Amino acid sequence: MKTFVYPILALFISANALSQSEKKQKDREAIKNMCGCYEVTFNFAETFNYSNDSLYKPSKTKVDKGLEWAQLVTDEEDKISIQHLLQVGDPNKPYIVKHWRQDWLYENTDLYTYNANNEWVYKQLEPSEVEGQWTQKVYQVDDSPRYEGSASWVHVDGKSYWENTTPAPLPRREYTTRSDYNLTMRGNRQEITDYGWVHDQDNAKIIREEGKDDIVLAKEKGYNTYVKVDDSRCAGASKWWKENQEKWALVRAKWDEIYGRNTTLQLEKKVDNKVLYKYLFDKGYEEKAKIDGVIESFVKK
């Protein structure tokens, strides 16, 4: 009996391992399909509000368009990094804006969860909790943390998508105009489509105070479409990245060292009345020592 069961079990384990490997490669392909040149439409609308204030004013519906280059920065078996760059103005003399970055880590156990007021709480997960999953880590324009969450890519009925709900800071379109809430609970769905991909969001605007239950102030729908166009249209952004990638590799390396401390992280909003990205976007911050120093100055001890 043993000589029959063991080979069958071995074949089952081998087939399962092959299936997991094939699934992972499908995941990697889906993630990398988000690279390239895209016409992007950003759509946000506040859908419901739960305020008791009769004078409450919902955020205005916001629709913006842009041309965005998604540059593949890292392509490793368990890590894929994509840097987004906005290209605006005259195509012959475009202006390039370093935008957000997304890193994808396979079966990652180290998470920084946003907890309002510029604080990210370090949490270590058990390997069993993230088996077969990818963590999407999203970063601000200065490569400081924004939000992250772990979930499985799903490939079914011709669709490939990834879904997760996680707390995040207010988006820039909100924190410059709103102070009545201090946390966004982001419901994120990245789905690969026949035209490119879509970032579908169902967000809650949260008031979080220590020792109290969270209060949902309002809800918001976000629907951002990325329509693939010829890469030549983003030539300016691609060129900019080649010219500036060494500097931003130094920035990422410093942040990686900070994240590697595996402890709760709280950041200053400003140092000497200046936000971090304005320092790093300055031409004066090209060398490792200056980059390391200014980033460290924003980390509260």
Tens digits of residue pLDDT in 188-205? 999 999 999 999 999 999
Predicted confidence (pLDDT) at residue 1 exceeds the cutoff of 70: no
Calculated CA dihedral for residues 43, 49, 51, 53, nearest 10 degrees: 80
In a domain, 134, yes or no: yes
In a domain, 107, yes or no: yes
In a domain, 78, yes or no: yes
Mean pLDDT of 131-145: 98
Tens digits of residue pLDDT in 87-120? 999 988 999 999 999 999 999 999 999 999 999 9
- Compute the distance between CA of residue 40 and CA of residue 109 in angstroms, rounded to an integer: 32
Contact yes or no for 205/181 (Cβ under 8 A): yes
Mean pLDDT of 239-246: 97
Encoded tokens for 170: 């207010």
Contact yes or no for 84/70 (Cβ under 8 A): yes
In a domain, 208, yes or no: yes
In a domain, 39, yes or no: yes
Among 160, 148, 171, which residue's Cα sits nearest to residue 33? 160
Structural domain for 111, as ranges: 2-229
> pLDDT tier at 13 (50, 70, 90 boundaries)?
low
Name the least confident of 12-21, 216-225, 230-239, 278-287: 12-21
245: CB partners within 8 A, 6+ apart: 73
> pLDDT tier at 20 (50, 70, 90 boundaries)?
confident
Domain tally, the chain = 1
Global pTM reads: 0.92
- Compute the distance between CA of residue 239 and CA of residue 243 in angstroms, rounded to an integer: 6
265: CB partners within 8 A, 6+ apart: 112, 119, 120, 122, 145, 258, 259, 299
Note the pLDDT of residue 49: 96
In a domain, 157, yes or no: yes
- For 89, which DSSP code? S
In a domain, 297, yes or no: no
- Compute the distance between CA of residue 113 and CA of residue 104 in angstroms, rounded to an integer: 16
Note the pLDDT of residue 112: 98
Predicted confidence (pLDDT) at residue 11 exceeds the cutoff of 70: no
Tens digits of residue pLDDT in 61-86? 999 999 999 999 999 999 999 999 99
In a domain, 137, yes or no: yes
